[in-house]
Structure 1
Amino acid sequence: MERFLLGARPTLTRVEVADQAGVPLELAEELWGQLGFARTADDDVAFTTHDVEALRRTAELVSLGILGSGSQAALVRTWGRSYARLAEWQAELLAGLALADDHPEQAIVDLVREVTPRVEELQDYVWRRHLASAAQRLLPAVEGSAEASRMSVAFTDIVGYTSRSKNLTEAELVDLVETFEDETTRAVVAVGGRVIKTIGDEVLYVADDPSAAVEVALSLTARGEDDDDPFPRVRAGVAHGEVTSRLGDVFGPTVNIASRLTSLARPGAVLVDRGAFEALTGSDDDPGTAPDGTPLAKLLDRAADELADLSPYAEHGGLKFRRLRRTSVKGYRALEPWVVRRAKRPS
């Protein structure tokens, strides 16, 4: 099975691989470590000619500037982590199927021979489709550095996950998380958004259009409140503003605010920040200053804080908003949240 998966029987040591590839051993070891490969001794025969070719191609990417000094470690680590997680899941799946057979040792070998070529082709296809989509989205905007852009960032979080998981079997817990991740991903993709990552009981996604991000959050929270729907009860936070994208992840204050809003949201609720509220309603005009020089925005904020508990919902574009009191959370002394709901349609 090892020979089949690696493409040949191991016949080379790490020193021989580096020498044949024309790559310094120190660089080879650094790359292998970043990929998450197990360290071997100088005399361990653990490599094949395919490792030589892979190392040579990596050196070519370095020479082309694709793996520059600033991006090499992060990019290679991302490759390693992603494929390691995928391989772990695939191996567990095949092992489970093999153990159900009367002859598991032979069954696993047969499965690997039958499944691996098909999975390899499918992974290449999926990667190319995602690469084409990313290129269409990002390349037209490239002018020098296009890493920072305005977008909406949202977190959706399972309510009471920790306490709930204590009362579930392993199979039930896996089913809960998979249902949550699968249905959330479907909802995000359906509106043109992108799932950035899943973090246990939480999904982080982005959308260029704040309406799309809020629509996903509202639809998921509504499903969670339906007793007949197996989708878990959730809460969500959406923020809109400048976001830095790097290696498929997103960073910056907008991401942090979306996370803080999610932690503040009540079960079944969706909170948005000032940036999302203004983007959704167009309420971004500068109100000017009062006669004494105090910005009217500050006076309005004070009044809004005092009346927040009594203020009615304001409707706009099929949505209704209610401003909550400013709240101090980690990193933000006066976070401004709005509850957003769907406006009732006239009967």
Structure 2
Amino acid sequence: MKVTILFTTLFVFLITALFGQDNKIPLDHSVYDDWKQISRAQLSNDGRWASWEVNPQRGDGLLHLLNLQTSVQDSMARGTRARFSPGSDYMAFLITPEADSVRQAKVDGKKRGEMPKDVLGIYRLHDRNYRIVENVASFSVPDKSSPWMAYHLAEMPEDTVKGRDLYAHNPITETIYRFPRVTDYLLSDNGQLLVFEESVDDEVSRIHVFRTGDQTQQLLFEGEGNIRGITVDEEGKQVAFLFAEDTEGPQLFSLFLWRDGEEASSVAVTSDSPGVPAGWGPSEHRSPQFTSDGKRVFFGTAPLPEPQAEDTLLPEEKHRLDVWHYRDPLIQPMQLVQADREK
């Protein structure tokens, strides 16, 4: 009796398995583009909201938003890089252009400034209010405390000035401030201070701060030269950056510091400062960084650049060398003929 039951069970199992195989879709190269990946899953700070992306191998994805208390779900086509505000008041994210439009723009040979631009989406959670901002290059949401955010517009083909509009925005009160000709910006971790660099013209640059608490703006620095590595401490009370004056010789950078309450920034370290090795100075290749308590700032140093020797040779006195490899598809005379065409 036990043998009969076992045989019957095995028979049913085999029949089920055989019929089940008929319903399976064979996997080949044609199905790869339909596979989807879940990424960037996150929870809001109050635990009431969850968001995640579902993206195919090729094509347009979806950004999903779920209310974990009511199970109400929304989705945003092509949404990506979502960030919840610290107070779980809103979600900010980018909306990428349609994949087909980007591909067609590349086929048409459009330049970088002519390519389709991202759109910023701001979804207010308590009333499901949805706002979009066209042509956005980047945005920043603080990690804690503040409802303020910042976003920087993308460069447009008709732009004739250096820098683009930067906006400080409170999506809860819909308070918005605009700052023109901005080339770089940084929002403090607590959202209390927005630091940005303004390009006045091709030579003069300025550094400003905007306090989101009392909504006041202050000029910290103005000079002719190059600014690098703007940084702000976690509390939004200090700013550090590197600056080198415009000169005909090598660029010599100095470290500048500003503390809240001071009228302007001041030089903190140069190549002549105590503790800096002889022949060395602050390096533009390492951005300054404050410690978590704001009591110290770290910065890089490097050997000072050597001044370039004056070129006293005439063009006919300079030698050029063309190297040909036997694996090159064209012989050397043909490469020289086509050199101008390939530039």
Q: What TM-score, normalized by structure 2, do the two folds share? A: 0.29
Work out which structure has the larger RCO, using CA pairs closer than 8 Å and 6 or more positions apart in sequence: 1
Q: Which has the larger share of strand?
A: 2
* Higher Rg of the two aligned structures: 2
Q: What TM-score, normalized by structure 1, do the two folds share? A: 0.28
Q: Which has the larger share of helix?
A: 1
